[in-house]
Structure 1
Amino acid sequence: MIRRRPWLTLLLLLVIVLIALAWPNRAHLAAFPDIIGAYTAKEYCSCRYVSGNPAAYCEGYVAQYVPIGSLLDDTAGKRVTASGLGRTHSAAWLGARQGCQLLPND
Structure 2
Amino acid sequence: MLTSKQRAFLRSMANGTDAIFQVGKNGVTPELRDAVHNALEARELVKISVLDNNLLGAAEAAEMLASRTGAEIVQVIGNKFVLFRRSKTKPVIDLPAAKK
Q: Using structure 1 for the length normalisation, give the TM-score.
A: 0.25
Question: Larger helix proportion, structure 1 or 2?
Answer: 1
More relative contact order in 1 or in 2 (CA 8 Å, sep 6+)?
2
Larger radius of gyration: 1
Q: Using structure 2 for the length normalisation, give the TM-score.
A: 0.26
